[in-house]
Amino acid sequence: MTPTDADHALQALDEALALVRRDPRAGESSGGRHRADGWPQAREAAARAGSGIRSRTHRVPLADALGEVLAQSLEALTDLPSFDSSAMDGWAVAGPGPWTIRPGGGGLAGAERPEPLADGEAVRIATGARIPADTTAVIRSEHSRESGTQLHADRAVLTGQDIRPRGQECRSGDLLLPAGSLVTPAVLGLAAAAGYDELTTRPRPRVEVLVLGDELLTEGRPHDGLIRDALSPMLGPWLTRLGAEVVATRRLGDDPAGAEALLAAVTGSEADLVITTGGTASGPVDHVHPVLREAGAELLVDGVAVRPGHPMLLARLGDRTDGRHLVGLPGNPLAAVSGLLTLAEPLLRALAGRRQRPRYTVPVQGEVPGHPYDTRLVPVLLTEEHAVPLRYNGPAMLRGVAAADGLAVVPPHGARDGQELEILDLPWVSGGCFT
């Protein structure tokens, strides 16, 4: 069987199982389980959960503010520029030409205030240097010529040309950026130019990652029914690119001791968000739901109508304002990625005070099979014109998403060739956070 045939066979099996297991018209399935949240509704619930949280703030040096969100508006502490300066290397001139060249050195950036120019006088000047008083214009070096002690212009000279007047960009007290703005490298430059050494920001949400499972190896090749832990190496960097501060990554077993450790982590973690992997279903060693019940957590999302990743969940661990949540990711790697994009990313953006990522669509190349009832998230490569679906998109596979630019949101029953599909950017492709 070729890889393509295998992909179609797996998809057909998934669809057949879905038809047997779930009636989309029923609020309760035959097994008594509730109906999963729709994929858009789950993302909205995650964003809402983080939006009502009492925000923390701190004051940090500029370099430490990168990737955080301004808690206070950024106002100019001085005029920018704070003095009239030259926009070009060339000559500062006064009055009409030709001009007599002043003997001696010219004006350099950072030098003291130069002597005023007399009418008909010219002096060399560098980009960024202070403009002498009574200057009419700056003539670029390439637009002038010297003849002994005389300077001539090769083209018409306009009053004020190539002079940056004081306050051209802003005046002291002007609003430069509102609170809620993401601190990017450009914002750091603007803040420094405006006179800031520190910024008041919202700190990054703190995340603790708990990887559950007895079958996971931390090194070497898979063997004897054991598999490599693919999530620990992936989740920390991924969450960091989403703007989180990962305070710990721990592995817990599936035995009673692991369940006790999970309960202790859920009730005692000081992180804003606890992320678990695996254990969200109803198997004999799936401890997440029992632990959440014992901890008194409130389930906000318990299953999402999305493939892969439908057993994902979102729970509130504390009261409605202290900001502690848990996102339970499925154990299969691509299903865990689906959970990150569906629940963790919108929650983290809201906790950080960032706006949700703008939505956009791209026409898909070729037909994309769909699930009978659920949304599918399919790794795609973005070209100049299309989103190209990638193979190896099963729940346990990372080969497709490792080569992808994003995940396409495929509606139930699939998409036709050329249909516009929403794209979820991967954080390292879209720029993510600057951390």
| Token output for 60 | 């940090």
Q: What CA–CA distance (Å, rounded) separates 43 from 305?
A: 11
pLDDT exceeds 80 at position 47? yes
For the chain, the average pLDDT equals: 86
Which is more confidently placed, 256 or 144? 144
pLDDT exceeds 50 at position 31? no
| Whether the Cβ atoms of residue 69 and residue 57 lie closer than 8 Å to each other | no
Average pLDDT over residues 157-175: 94
What count of other Cβ atoms lies within 10 Å of the Cβ of residue 227?
Answer: 14
Q: Could you tell me which of 359, 376, 364, 347 has the C-alpha nearest to residue 417?
A: 364
Q: How far is CA 105 from the centre of its chain?
A: 50
Please, what is the Cα angle at 347 between 353 and 373, to 5 degrees? Answer: 140
Helix (H) or strand (E) holding 248: strand 245-252
Q: What CA–CA distance (Å, rounded) separates 313 from 288?
A: 10
Instruction: State the pLDDT at residue 397.
Output: 78
The amino acid sitting at 240 is T
Query: Alpha-carbon torsion 41, 46, 47, 50, what sign?
Result: positive
Q: What CA–CA distance (Å, rounded) separates 162 from 159?
A: 9
Q: Please report which residue ranges of 365-423 form alpha helices under DSSP H.
A: 399-402
Who contacts 230 (Cβ-Cβ below 8 Å, separation ≥6)? 333, 398
For the segment 252-285, what is each residue's pLDDT rounded down to a tens digit?
877 788 788 889 988 988 999 999 988 777 766 6
| Token output for 158 | 């306009």
For the segment 203-230, what is each residue's pLDDT rounded down to a tens digit?
999 999 998 876 665 657 877 777 677 7
**Beta pairing, strands 406-410 & 121-125:** unpaired
Q: How far is CA 188 from the centre of its chain?
A: 17
Range name among 279-283, 340-344, 423-427 with the lowest pLDDT average: 279-283
* pTM of the shown model: 0.80
Q: What CA–CA distance (Å, rounded) separates 87 from 59?
A: 35
| Whether the Cβ atoms of residue 417 and residue 403 lie closer than 8 Å to each other | no
- Cα atoms found within 13 Å of the Cα of residue 170, Cβ hemisphere only: 16
For the segment 184-203, what is each residue's pLDDT rounded down to a tens digit?
999 999 999 999 999 999 99
**288, 294, 297, 298 alpha-carbon torsion, rounded to 10°:** 90
pLDDT exceeds 70 at position 391? yes
